[in-house]
Structure 1
Amino acid sequence: MGLTQTQKAMVEKARAAGGSGQAIPLSDDACVCLIGIIARDLGLSDHFPELPSDLPPFFDQREPGSLNISGVEFLPLMERLVKLNPDSDTFFSCLANLHKRRLKYERILQTQPIPTIEQVGPRGLLQFGTISATTLTGLLFWRKWFFDIDNRAGQETGYLFEPIIAHAIGGVPFSAKASPVRRAGDSRKGRQVDCIRQQKAYEFKIRVTIASSGQGRWQEELDFPVDCRQSRYTPVLVVLDATPNPKLDQLEAAFLRQQGEVYKGESAWEHLESVAGPTMGLFLEKYVRDPIQALLNKVSDCLPEFVARMDKDGITLSVAGESMLIRRTLGAADDEVQELPDDASDQIPGP
């Protein structure tokens, strides 16, 4: 039996590049490789004898664009995968979106423009004279370039992290404009919501830190459960790292006062995986939980040695003695978008 029309639409959305000029569509060869990786994850490799048995891991030191298998037709493989596991279509769409974002960020690193002196020159007044003008100019350029690529990483993650968890548990993310959760003080205005599933409105966080981005922003955080309750949704706080601090206690109390639910640390992961079900629970564990936990485990109070160098081959970054090369190419960067787009629910295709 072939794919349903809904499944075909999901697959096509998963492969499509999207509206960004730097976005990259997924080729048949890339999709075939993803099928092989998913089959291995689900213990179904024996059902795909035409695929190599030594596929690389999805997270690998090789460039994301190297994940390709040629000479095999994609759609019959997808049909077979869905027949073997009905939830694998959602698994494929989430993994495909993650792969597209990694491919796009690789292109961003290759094309993000080097700053101009007009952009950074006035900032030099803060440190002029402490080092030579030549050295300070270089420092200003490097600092701005790293700021720019980190800002772009934040934007791409905003389109990825919360939406991918939302779709994995069968929910939908909403921008403020499209959100059914309205502000308690002004019902004409909506609230961005990481995920709505049935009558629950989720707020996802990796960690709540003691430092906040200002009293106004923190009050917004505290008002979220109030807005949810006023809009007849149960507010749900999911904090993946339960490191205790007063801010987390304050936020937890705000959710509980509105008859909300709070899940922290291990209970947060257990909740997400139980709601997602076995197949998508595995996806969350392998492609969200394990990578994030690996990073959290390596957090240190002391920054490691860092060296950046630019030459004709590109930009080489060395951290604690381990290096990576970014091969630079000419190309225009996308216009930056600061907020979740109105079509955020379409970023990761679902049925």
Structure 2
Amino acid sequence: MAQRRDRRLSPQQGKMLTRASKLGGPVDLGGVRLSDLEMVGLLQVLKTDLEKSYDQNGRLEKPSSSTGYFSMGLDAFTDPGAVRDVAEALLREDRSYLVTALVQACEEIPDFMSAFEALCEIHKRRLKFRRIVAEQRIPEIEDISPRAILEWGIVPGQELESFMRWRKWFYDIDNRAAQETGYMLTKVMSLVLGGQYHSAKTSPIRRMGYTGGTHRSVDCIAGRTAYDFKARMTDAPSRRARLEDELAFARDCFTSGFKPILLVLKEDDPELS
């Protein structure tokens, strides 16, 4: 889109805006693309919420009690309604309104660009997951029938097939939910820390013990600090992942001149508090 190359945006802001607008490959292959209409709606919601959180001197006050984005449905920015109507009117008046409003918000609100990219990431992941739920097929009995050897008699025979099918479907959906949540949190946390995710292709951290200078992907690099995010800490029987890779991460970062931080997210155990 033409506005992605608008000279009012710095090169970094232009790249962030492009990243914010898309997720994955083409839409017909599972990717997600946000229209200017959707992005203007998201920008307006975020700007309104953040403006309530700062005083006239730009100091952060108590966060707004407004539920903002999460009080709306996923289609609030595309279906007819107040949010879409406002966004459409703004774009009719100024086709480059997205850039105009974004530049103004970045000047008025600290770190607005990062907050906007994070909100777009959340919205894209939610849109993608809704499509996953709609398109996830019920498993064929041939895929799961061998399990009946173990499960026969635990559930009445006439109910076992249905039970196994639905359980597998729920498992598949839950697994995809965990996967998409992990990707989303990695992106949002990277933005919060002021850093950026790096694939193996762009990463400055080398894998030790590999020939050919192979680099490793890193969840977030901010300055000379490298972060690895984990939802929990467990070991794998194969020793090919989990704890062994966490140890390798620390070693690779140190030898590449970065400070490694392993950030583990886990709910507090009420019995330990």
User: What TM-score results when the alignment is normalised by the length of structure 1?
Assistant: 0.59
Aligned residues, how many? 236
- Corresponding residue for residue 229 of structure 1: 254
Local SS of the residue matching 2:154: coil
| Aligned equivalent of 1:197, options 211, 217, 222 | 222
Point out 4+ residue stretches in structure 1 off by more than 6 angstroms: none
Match of 1:57 among 68, 79, 97: 68
1:2 shift after superposition: 7.3
1:160 equivalent in structure 2: 184
Deviation at 1:215?
6.0
Residue 207 of structure 1 and its aligned partner are, at CA, apart by: 4.1
> What does residue 337 of structure 1 align with?
none
Using the TM superposition, give the Cα deviation of residue 177 of structure 1 relative to its aligned residue in structure 2, in angstroms: 4.9
8 A Cα contact 1:36 1:45, kept in partner: no
Say whether the 8 Å CA contact 1:94–1:167 is kept in structure 2. yes
SS at match of 2:153: coil
d(CA) in 2 for partners of 1:26, 1:228: 35
Distance 2:270 2:141 in 1: 34
How far the C-alpha of 1:300 sits from its partner, in A, is 8.2
For 1:95 and 1:59, the matched residues in 2 are separated by 11
Aligned to 1:264: none
Is 2:158 the counterpart of 1:134?
Answer: yes
After superposition, the C-alpha distances for 1:327-348 in whole angstroms (9 at most, x for unaligned) are xxxxxxxxxxxxxxxxxxxxxx
Question: Deviation per CA, 1:190-234, whole angstroms, max 9, x where unpaired?
Answer: 3332111222211223443xx422361222222221121122211
Shift of 1:169: 2.1
1:162-311 aligned at under 5 Å gives the runs: 162-188=186-212, 189-208=214-233, 211-214=234-237, 216=239, 217=241, 218-241=243-266, 296=267
Pairwise CA distance, 1:9: 4.1
Deviations 1:52-106 (A, max 9, x none): xxx863224x542234422332423323322322521221112111111111101
Check 1:42–1:224 CA distance in 2 against 1; reply closer, same or farther (3 A cut): same
C-alpha spacing 1:175/1:214, structure 2 compared with 1 (3 Å): farther
For residues 93 and 84 of structure 1, do their structure 2 counterparts lie closer, same or farther at Cα, with a shift above 3 Å needed? same
| TM-score of the pair, normalised by structure 2 | 0.73
Q: 1:33 aligns with which of 41, 45, 66?
A: 41
Q: CA RMSD in A?
A: 3.1
- Distance in 2, Cα, partners of 1:193 & 1:148: 27
Q: Return closer, same or farther for 1:158/1:175 CA change in 2, 3 Å cut-off.
A: farther
CA distance in 2, matches of 1:86, 1:9: 18
Structure 1 pair 175–45 and aligned structure 2 pair: CA distance change class (3 A) = closer
Please point out which of 12, 21, 33 is paired with 2:18. 12
Larger RCO (alpha carbons 8 Å, 6+ apart): 1
Give deviations 1:218-254, integer Å, cap 9, x for gaps: 222222211211222111233344xxxxxxxxxxxxx
User: What is the alpha-carbon distance in structure 2 between the residues aligned to residue 82 and residue 128 of structure 1?
Assistant: 62
What CA distance in whole angstroms lies between the structure 1 residues aligned with 2:33 and 2:43?
16
Query: Does the 8 A contact of 1:181 with 1:231 survive in 2?
Result: yes
CA distance in 1, matches of 2:203, 2:53: 41
Residue matched to 2:63: none
Question: Could you tell me how far apart the structure 1 residues matched to 2:126 and 2:225 are?
Answer: 30
For residues 38 and 176 of structure 2, what CA distance do their matches in structure 1 show?
Answer: 24
2:263 and 2:253 mapped to 1: Cα distance?
Answer: 15
Tell me the amino acid that sits aligned with residue 41 of structure 1.
D
Q: Is the 8 A contact 1:39 1:45 kept in 2?
A: no
Query: What's the offset of the Cα at 1:44?
Result: 5.7
Of 54, 69, 76, the residue aligned with 1:66 is 76
Letter of the 1:169 partner, please give it. L
AA matched with 1:22: G
Q: Which secondary structure does the structure 1 equivalent of 2:24 belong to?
A: coil
Identify which of 145, 155, 171 aligns with 1:147: 171
SS of the residue 1:159 aligns to: helix
| Preserved contact between residue 2 and residue 79 of structure 1 (Cα < 8 Å) | no
User: Whose helix fraction is larger, Structure 1's or Structure 2's?
Assistant: 2
Contact 1:29 1:72 in 2 (8 A): no
2: CA distance between counterparts of 1:121 and 1:155? 26
Residues 170-204 of structure 1, C-alpha deviation per residue, up to 9 Å, x if partnerless? 21222345432222222543333211122221122
Question: SS state of the match for residue 196, structure 1?
Answer: strand
